[in-house]
């Protein structure tokens, strides 16, 4: 009897102590900074807004009316597919603690093990960080859409984008942001000049070459059907880019504020200079030119936003307008490559330019944050050049292989009749605008 009483007492004591023990166990977990976490969650929403609806409207306004809806559907489908891939395995392969300098492990499959944890050196929860990074994984393949608009088969677009996300975006993210081999060499990419814009821009050029020209290009004038929508989309991109670059500080602090200031002033300078160039060369400063110049400035400032000062951001913005405008003419005018919405000339060239020149403007003498111990301008410049070259070559080769393999299962292009009818009707059976 005494033994039964003692066992009952111990059992009751355990029940009473259980909540306390559980609380103690929770208390031992690292606590995320609520302010920093709130900023990362807000930044995630801003970056998603860049794709849906920002990029969709920016690209959609630039195509002919009969293809507008197809651009919106492609942006939505790519965003949805990239999200699934990222949560299932993409994040784990890019950011898991285990693995190697080239690819991570499957330990965070389906975001396993993230809840209640904090990545080393950060103040936000691992789930919030994974969410923020997912929005980057969404917009990067979506950028390539601008290279194949008005002629690519929808099934090919979806299949290519999924494989590209897994085989190009994820590994490069590991190399640069996931403590991979390029990170170990000291490469700087604050918010995606290499990971996002170099990969997407170079891949877009390869896809444009593989697909071939639209019917009538370059002799037929293919004017944007709605510059107003393009400017509206650019505005959403501009505002969303505050989350893109400011959020990359991973905290609500002066580094985030500095990145946002540099982002804004870089885009402003580029937009103004682009308008000036148009006024001088063609006699008119256009709405599409303003939007394109702003996006070129945003892409160029992205890798450098957190390591340079406002003066360097203005100079980068000016250079972005001049050099990207020049490359638009080279790609379409001289090389006759139908990179339809200038993905390479604006995003690719801009991202590469900012990724390389940040090594110069990071100097404290020029208002930047300075260099890591044992590093100077020359050595940082060499690291940046090596990283950009390697990523560009890898992106080009991988894109060529992925595009070719997918084309063996799903043809890349629609038929000539479907292209003439427009992809809204031929691919989706709907019209964006019912003007009858």
pLDDT tens per residue across span 214-228 = 999 999 989 999 999
- Neighbouring residues of 156: CB distance < 8 A, sequence distance ≥ 6: 406, 407, 410, 411, 412
Q: Among residues 332, 66, 324, 348, which one has the least CA distance to residue 213?
A: 332
Q: Among residues 239, 237, 297, which one has the least CA distance to residue 58?
A: 237
CA distance 9 to 2: 11
Band (435; pLDDT cuts 50, 70, 90): low
Stretch 322-337: mean pLDDT, rounded? 97
Band (16; pLDDT cuts 50, 70, 90): very low
Q: Among residues 69, 81, 64, 66, which one has the least CA distance to residue 142?
A: 81
The pLDDT of residue 12 is above 60: no
Mean pLDDT of the chain: 92
Q: What is the DSSP letter of 331?
A: I
Proportion of the chain in helix, strand, coil states, percent, rounded to 5: 75, 0, 25
Q: Provide the phi-psi class of 253: left if phi over 0, else alpha when psi is between -120 and 50, else beta.
A: beta
The pLDDT of residue 27 is above 80: no
Stretch 266-274: mean pLDDT, rounded? 98
What is the sign, positive or negative, of the torsion defined by CA atoms of 278, 283, 284, 285? positive
CB count in 10 Å sphere of residue 219: 6
- Whether residue 181 contacts residue 386, with contact meaning beta carbons closer than 8 Å, is answered with no
Stretch 19-25: mean pLDDT, rounded? 30
pTM here is: 0.92
pLDDT at residue 19, as a whole number? 34
CATH code 3.40.50.720 for 31-428: no
Stretch 105-122: mean pLDDT, rounded? 92
pLDDT at residue 30, as a whole number? 61
Q: What is the DSSP letter of 306?
A: T
Half-sphere exposure of 415 (CA within 13 A, CB side): 5
Distances, alpha carbon 329 to alpha carbons 61, 208, 273, 402, in Å: 20, 16, 16, 28
Tokens of 77: 């489908």
């Amino acid at each position: 009897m005494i033994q039964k009483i003692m066992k009952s007492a111990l059992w009751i004591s355990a029940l009473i102590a259980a909540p306390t023990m559980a609380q103690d166990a929770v208390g031992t977990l690292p606590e995320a900074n609520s302010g920093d976490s709130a900023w990362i969650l807000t930044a995630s929403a801003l970056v998603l807004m860049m794709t849906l609806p920002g990029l969709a409207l920016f690209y959609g306004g630039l195509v002919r009316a009969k293809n507008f809806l197809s651009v919106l559907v492609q942006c939505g489908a790519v965003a949805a597919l990239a999200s699934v891939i990222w949560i299932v395995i993409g994040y784990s392969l890019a950011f898991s603690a285990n693995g190697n300098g080239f690819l991570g492990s499957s330990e965070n499959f389906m975001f396993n093990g993230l809840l209640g944890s904090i990545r080393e050196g950060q103040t936000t929860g691992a789930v919030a960080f994974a969410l923020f990074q997912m929005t980057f994984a969404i917009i990067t393949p979506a950028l390539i859409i601008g290279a194949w608009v008005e002629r690519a088969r929808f099934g090919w677009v979806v299949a290519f984008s999924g494989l590209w996300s897994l085989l190009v975006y994820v590994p490069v993210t590991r190399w640069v942001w996931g403590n991979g081999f390029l990170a170990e060499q000291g490469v700087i990419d604050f918010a995606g000049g290499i990971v996002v814009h170099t990969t997407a821009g170079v891949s877009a050029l390869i896809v444009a070459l593989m697909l071939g020209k639209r019917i009538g290009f370059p002799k037929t004038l293919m004017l944007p059907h709605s510059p107003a929508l393009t400017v509206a989309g650019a505005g959403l991109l501009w505002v969303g880019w505050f989350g893109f670059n400011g959020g990359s500080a991973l905290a609500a602090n002066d580094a985030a504020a500095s990145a946002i200031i540099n982002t804004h002033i870089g885009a402003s300078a580029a937009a103004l200079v682009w308008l000036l160039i148009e006024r001088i060369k063609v006699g008119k400063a256009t709405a599409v030119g303003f939007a394109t110049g702003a996006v070129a400035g945003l892409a160029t400032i992205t890798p450098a936003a957190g390591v340079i000062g406002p003066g360097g951001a203005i100079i980068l913005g000016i250079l972005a307008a001049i050099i990207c405008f020049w490359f638009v003419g080279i790609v379409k005018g001289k090389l006759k490559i139908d990179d339809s919405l200038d993905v390479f000339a604006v995003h690719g060239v801009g991202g590469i330019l900012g990724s390389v020149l940040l090594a110069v403007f990071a100097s404290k003498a020029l208002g930047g944050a300075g260099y890591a111990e044992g590093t100077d301008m020359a050595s940082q410049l060499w690291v940046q050049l090596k990283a950009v070259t390697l990523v560009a070559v890898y992106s080009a080769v991988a894109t060529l292989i992925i595009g070719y393999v997918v084309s063996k299962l799903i043809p890349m292009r629609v038929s000539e009749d479907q292209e003439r009818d427009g992809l809204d009707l031929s691919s989706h059976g709907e019209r964006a605008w019912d003007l009858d």
